[in-house]
């Protein structure tokens, strides 16, 4: 008989940028995996409202989206007694550590980031904060001695830079930071746009192919029934050649707890498949919508959760900032 020592739960951190309404892709790709993990991992979730300021923004909208996303996370089942939930800007240690890390990052390194190049190319006025965006992200992660960061493809390079900065700082100034790893969330589904199934949901211009978390049932129905499929007569799971159908199967599988390939055989044609998707998605979103409405009636409650979260986050972060200041040569 082998006896394995009980392992300490890993500290996991997720940041959500409050720039838009949360949608089904966020729920199945990031939020639900995090909520399932909160009983196994030491979970930290925060709203990256400072990151939302790195491109042209509407102040009122950022504030509204920050509260909306916090409310949605709670409605979806994030347990504030279990996980730490807060808004980045309410924890000044993020920006304090950000500056120290800027002193351990090269201009060229930041300038080479693919996301910076893409976003900068699409704008006339590029904010300086867009260049240092990944350094702030490194601060978010390193602040909490984070061990694991669930990341999709688009944030992988930023996570690599975070590791580089941590290793360099530790090598130059002595052991200071836990070096984190980027991980793929175990049970995440990659959800594509219903109207443009080769693009990730939420990344395309118009919202026609996006199911938002708070969409009413009739809107969900309309969007799913209009989803792009193809001219085949039978349902098959071939993501490469038939991305639209594959996406519907992926969504259904994530909702009912099955695999897309196994479900493909259950449907003679696209009509029944789409009706099943409507029912499954509405079944998944209905309780979240209901709970959201209850929570939204008392914004004082959500604000209190965020304030208490910020206080706990400051406690957790203060030690790291102190260590980093001492190490880099400041009077701590
Ligand atoms: N940049 C991330 C995104 O756009 C959000 C984010 C900010 C983040 N800080 C983070 C994610 C720290 C993980 C860890 O999705």
Q: What is the pLDDT of residues 11-58, one digit of tens each?
A: 999 999 999 999 999 999 999 999 999 999 999 999 999 999 999 999
Query: Is the model's pLDDT at 6 over the cut of 80?
Result: no
List pocket residues of ligand 1, CB cut-off 6 Å. 13-15, 17, 48, 51, 137, 140-141, 149, 155
Query: Is the model's pLDDT at 1 over the cut of 60?
Result: no
Query: In ligand 1, which atom is closest to the CA atom of 136?
Result: 9
Q: For each of the domains in the chain, give its residue range(s) and CATH number, in order of start.
A: 11-188+298-328 (3.40.50.620), 217-294 (1.10.240.10)
Pairing of strands 11-16, 84-87: unpaired
**With bands split at pLDDT 50, 70 and 90, how would you rate the model's confidence at 4?**
low
- CA distance linking residue 78 with residue 56, whole number of Å: 30
Query: Is the model's pLDDT at 84 over the cut of 70?
Result: yes
pLDDT, averaged across the chain: 95
**With bands split at pLDDT 50, 70 and 90, how would you rate the model's confidence at 233?**
confident
Query: Is the model's pLDDT at 205 over the cut of 70?
Result: no
Ligand 1 geometric centre to CA of 13 (Å) = 9
Query: Is the model's pLDDT at 206 over the cut of 80?
Result: no
Residue 84 main-chain phi, psi, to 5 deg: -95, 125
The three-point CA angle 7-9-15 to 5° equals 155
- Per-residue pLDDT averaged across 97-125, rounded? 97
Q: Which of 51, 135, 178 most suits a substitution to test ligand 1, by most atoms within 8 Å of the C-beta? A: 51
Ligand 1 geometric centre to CA of 48 (Å) = 7
- Give the residue numbers marked as catalytic: 119, 200, 203
**With bands split at pLDDT 50, 70 and 90, how would you rate the model's confidence at 207?**
confident
- Per-residue pLDDT averaged across 250-264, rounded? 95
Q: Which of 26, 55, 137 most suits a substitution to test ligand 1, by most atoms within 8 Å of the C-beta? A: 137
- Per-residue pLDDT averaged across 69-79, rounded? 98
How confident is the model at residue 332, as a pLDDT? 76
- Per-residue pLDDT averaged across 276-280, rounded? 98
Pairing of strands 84-87, 148-150: unpaired
pLDDT digits (tens, 9 = 90+) for 86-100: 999 999 999 999 999
- CA distance linking residue 230 with residue 190, whole number of Å: 20
Q: What is the percent of the chain where pLDDT is above 90?
A: 91
- CA distance linking residue 322 with residue 97, whole number of Å: 10
Element (H, E) at 315: helix 299-328
**With bands split at pLDDT 50, 70 and 90, how would you rate the model's confidence at 189?**
confident
- CA distance linking residue 104 with residue 118, whole number of Å: 24
Query: Is the model's pLDDT at 5 over the cut of 90?
Result: no
Atom 11 of ligand 1 has which residue's CA nearest to it?
15
How confident is the model at residue 299, as a pLDDT? 87
Atom 8 of ligand 1 has which residue's CA nearest to it?
15
Ligand 1 geometric centre to CA of 114 (Å) = 15
Query: Is the model's pLDDT at 225 over the cut of 90?
Result: yes
Q: Which is nearest to 210 in space by CA: 26, 14, 4?
A: 26
- Per-residue pLDDT averaged across 53-68, rounded? 97
- Per-residue pLDDT averaged across 261-277, rounded? 96
Query: In ligand 1, which atom is closest to the CA atom of 13?
Result: 14
- Per-residue pLDDT averaged across 253-266, rounded? 95
How confident is the model at residue 11, as a pLDDT? 97
Atom 9 of ligand 1 has which residue's CA nearest to it?
137
How confident is the model at residue 266, as a pLDDT? 95
- Per-residue pLDDT averaged across 124-145, rounded? 98
């Amino acid at each position: 008989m082998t006896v394995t020592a009980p392992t300490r739960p890993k500290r996991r951190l997720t940041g959500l940028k409050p720039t838009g309404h949360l949608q089904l892709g966020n729920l199945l790709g990031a939020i639900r995996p995090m909520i399932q993990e909160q009983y196994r991992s030491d979970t930290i979730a925060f709203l990256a409202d400072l990151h939302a300021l790195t491109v042209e923004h509407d102040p009122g909208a950022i504030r509204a989206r920050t509260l909306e996303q916090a409310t949605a996370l709670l409605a979806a089942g994030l347990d504030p007694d279990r996980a730490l939930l807060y808004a980045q800007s309410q924890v000044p240690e993020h920006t304090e550590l950000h500056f120290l890390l800027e002193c351990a990052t090269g201009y060229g390194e930041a300038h080479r980031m693919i996301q910076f190049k893409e976003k900068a190319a699409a704008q006339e006025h590029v904010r300086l904060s867009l260049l240092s965006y990944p350094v702030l992200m490194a601060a978010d992660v390193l602040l909490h001695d984070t061990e694991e960061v669930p990341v999709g493809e688009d944030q992988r390079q930023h996570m690599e830079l975070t590791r580089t900065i941590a290793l360099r700082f530790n090598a130059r100034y002595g052991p200071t930071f836990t070096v984190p790893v980027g991980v793929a969330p175990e049970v995440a589904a990659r959800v594509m746009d219903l109207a443009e199934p080769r693009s990730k949901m939420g990344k395309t211009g118009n919202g026609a192919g996006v199911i938002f978390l708070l969409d009413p049932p009739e809107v969900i129905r309309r969007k799913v029934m209009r989803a792009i499929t193809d001219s085949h007569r039978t349902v098959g799971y071939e993501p490469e050649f038939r991305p639209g159908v594959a996406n519907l199967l992926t969504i259904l599988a994530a909702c009912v707890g099955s695999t897309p390939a196994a479900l493909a055989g259950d449907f003679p044609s696209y009509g029944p498949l789409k009706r099943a998707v409507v029912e499954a998605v509405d079944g998944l979103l209905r309780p979240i919508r209901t709970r959201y409405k209850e929570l939204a009636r008392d914004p004082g409650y959500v604000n209190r959760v965020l304030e208490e979260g910020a206080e706990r986050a400051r406690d957790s972060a203060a030690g790291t900032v102190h260590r980093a200041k001492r190490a880099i040569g400041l009077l701590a």
